[in-house]
Amino acid sequence: MNKEKENAKVSALYPSPIVGSVYGFGWERMKKYFLDLFLIILIVGVVLAPLGMIESLDGRHTPGGVILRIFAFAYWLLFYAPIAYGSAFIFLKAAREEQFEIKDMFSAFENYLNVVLAHLLKSAIIGIGIFLLLVPGIIFACKLAFVEYLVLDRKMDPVEAVKESWRMTKGYEWQIFFMGLTAIAIAMGGLLCLVVGIIPAAIWIRSAFASMYYAVSKVAEEKA
């Protein structure tokens, strides 16, 4: 009986690195920190909005369109990337129940060069994979799912983060792939809930992915 209680306690603290467990764990963290994470998602949405506006503009093949595309790339890489990485770090802190403040999402600017280069390197690798008939791109995306956490959590440089993410995800590729499929279903369900449901859906998805990194890290610690 005591063993069952101990297992239940550990399960509550550290999710197993499987789809159902991390989504369940992410759901609990979402409920506990909903308002904080809600604000984080709103900030990310506001930062992402200009890219959507640029995408909606015509004239991509005109000189003005080319300039807009260059501006969009620079904005995505130099400003959006640090915000996205910083928000991922907040979700990781929530998963681990570490104390955090909203301003912590801007901590990525303290490690700015590594964040930008890591985002560029990760995107380039996945982009090349997609160019090679899509499937390699999906594999690369699964293998590099932890890069954003490693850059801020362990202060790794871009190359180290890519290598470590590749190593950490060994044996978990299918779990991460099915997490992605589940995320699509959750997002679609959120959109069907009068569109505004996409916000809690996004919080749940990001909580789950942060929980997956947390789970894999804990498994590695126990094996060490």
Please say if the pLDDT value at position 68 is more than 90. no
Q: Is 98 helix (H, G, I), strand (E, B) or coil?
A: coil
Please say if the pLDDT value at position 2 is more than 80. no
Q: What is the pLDDT of residue 70?
A: 87
For the entire predicted model, the pTM comes to 0.90
Mean pLDDT of the chain: 90
Encode pLDDT of 141-178 as tens digits.
999 999 999 999 999 999 999 999 999 999 999 999 99
Q: How confident is the model at residue 132 (pLDDT cuts 50, 70, 90)?
A: confident
Percentage of the chain surpassing pLDDT 70?
A: 91
Q: How confident is the model at residue 205 (pLDDT cuts 50, 70, 90)?
A: very high
